[in-house]
């Protein structure tokens, strides 16, 4: 399973890219708005310079035609740009039209397997089920990944990838891999948490103490 970073923060992307683990980046309007005063095109272009993989940029139009118009513009920014559209019937129209023009899409805000099936049928390159937000409703978000994975595997015509999104903690990453996700898109903080273990810290301390005390 590949790891993407879910952020529009350039310092976080630069740091995680230096670890050699990043295969792509996802952004959304909330994440871009968090980077005060940043110009959308400049942010996406800068990310594309740092990470050689799919970079999702989200359209904000609600109608399919508007999403296509935005998507066509985003696609001129960098060949790795993926146009993110919401999981609505208008979103499906945009996916279908953009796919016919060779532009890849990420259908976001997926909360059930039927949305994922229709998005794949329309020609989505990626779908983004939001596991954390499903968990928030008291339903097992990971079950959604399992269902979509099973449906996609049973249909040889579907090549759409599953990004496990709305990741909240390290266990979500591991469970996503086990449930059949192709990618987990993670906040920077969760990636940092994933590499921390008190026994690793204690082991380093012990090794250094023994090294200093050697005869």
Applying CB under 6 A, which residues contact ligand G3P?
6, 26, 28, 128, 130, 132-133, 165-166, 185
Q: How far is the CB of 102 from ligand G3P (least distance, A)?
A: 24
Alpha carbon 50 to chain centroid distance? 16
Closest listed residue to residue 81, CA positions, set 100, 101, 53? 53
Q: How far is the CB of 11 from ligand G3P (least distance, A)?
A: 18
Residue 161 annotated among the catalytic residues of the structure = no
Residue whose CB is less far from ligand G3P, 81 or 97: 81
Residue of 36, 41, 84, 101 with catalytic role: 84
Q: At what angle do helices 141-153 and 170-179 cross, to 10 degrees?
A: 30
Distance CA 50, CA 18 (A): 9
Q: How far is the CB of 168 from ligand G3P (least distance, A)?
A: 6
Please, what is the Cα angle at 26 between 129 and 175, to 5 degrees?
A: 45
10 Å Cβ neighbour count for 182? Answer: 18
Residue whose CB is less far from ligand G3P, 26 or 115: 26
Residue whose CB is less far from ligand G3P, 166 or 194: 166
Q: How far is the CB of 4 from ligand G3P (least distance, A)?
A: 9
Distance CA 59, CA 83 (A): 7
Residue whose CB is less far from ligand G3P, 98 or 183: 183
Tallying the residues shown for the chain, one arrives at 215
Distance CA 215, CA 196 (A): 31
Distance CA 99, CA 83 (A): 10
- Residue pair 42/14 in contact by the 8 Å Cβ criterion: no
**Catalytic machinery residues:** 84
């Amino acid at each position: 399973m590949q790891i993407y970073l879910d952020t529009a923060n350039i310092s976080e992307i630069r740091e995680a890219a230096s670890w050699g683990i990043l295969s792509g980046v996802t952004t959304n309007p909330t994440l871009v708005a968090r980077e005060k005063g940043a110009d959308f095109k400049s942010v996406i272009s800068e990310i594309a310079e740092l990470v050689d993989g799919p970079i999702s940029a989200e359209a904000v139009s609600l109608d399919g035609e508007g999403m296509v118009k935005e998507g066509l513009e985003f696609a001129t920014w960098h060949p790795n740009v993926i146009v993110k559209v919401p999981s609505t019937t208008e979103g499906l129209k945009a996916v279908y039209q953009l796919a016919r023009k060779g532009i890849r899409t990420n259908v976001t805000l997926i909360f059930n397997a039927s949305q994922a099936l229709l998005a794949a049928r329309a020609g989505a390159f990626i779908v983004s089920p939001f596991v954390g937000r499903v968990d928030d409703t008291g339903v097992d978000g990971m079950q959604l990944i399992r269902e979509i994975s099973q449906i996609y595997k049973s249909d040889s015509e579907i090549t759409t990838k599953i990004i496990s999104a709305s990741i909240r903690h390290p266990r979500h990453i591991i469970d996503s891999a086990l449930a059949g996700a192709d990618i987990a898109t993670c906040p920077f903080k969760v990636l940092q948490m994933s590499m921390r273990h008190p026994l690793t810290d204690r082991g380093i301390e012990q090794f250094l103490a023994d090294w200093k005390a050697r005869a």
